[in-house]
Amino acid sequence: MVFPRTMFECRVCGKCCVEDVRRGRRIVLTRTDALEISSATGIGLSEFAEENSSEAYPYAIRLVNGRCFFLKPDNKCSIYPVRPLVCRFYPFVMQKVGETYVFHADPFCPGLGEGAYLDEEYFEKLVEQAEKRLNRSTGLFEARRS
């Protein structure tokens, strides 16, 4: 596993949940994410999500005026306990390169460089979450680590 040696502490600024001039924002959902959100909120999938072309992430949360459907005016997530996998990872993105998991950080996140240094255990827990959620959603995720 390759991960950045960085500090991180969420500043609850909401920048991860909105589009800006530097980048679009696509909050993708696994099938498990979509079902859990719909069940927890009582909102039908078609009301808060649209189809996405990825087998692992077949849906994406609708944006309302460039903001996540579930982002409250105070920039807090209204579905935090059942937030999607990609939101649990943010500001990090995980890719599998060969047999190795590689993490990258979004340089636009203002929480990077704040708080405590993140250790290997932090990233191992993210891998475990991804394996669990993606296996439950698709059965496509291999549970091999490097």
pTM of the model: 0.85
Assign 3-class secondary structure to the chain.
CECCCCEECCCCCCHHHECECCECCCCEECHHHHHHHHHHHCCCHHHHEEECCCCCCCEEECEECCEECCECCCCCECCHHHCCHHHHHCCEEEEEECCEEEEEECCCCCCECCCEECCHHHHHHHHHHHHHHHHHHCCCCCCCCC
Residues 58, 56: Cα–Cα separation, whole Å = 6
Q: Which of 2, 7, 5 is nearest to 109 (CA)?
A: 7
Query: Does the pLDDT of residue 101 top 70, yes or no?
Result: yes
Query: Does the pLDDT of residue 142 top 90, yes or no?
Result: no
**Mean pLDDT, range 100-118, rounded to an integer:** 94
**Mean pLDDT, range 140-144, rounded to an integer:** 44
Query: Does the pLDDT of residue 143 top 70, yes or no?
Result: no
pLDDT band at 146 (very low <50, low <70, confident <90, very high): very low
Lowest mean pLDDT: which of 34-48, 107-121, 124-138?
124-138
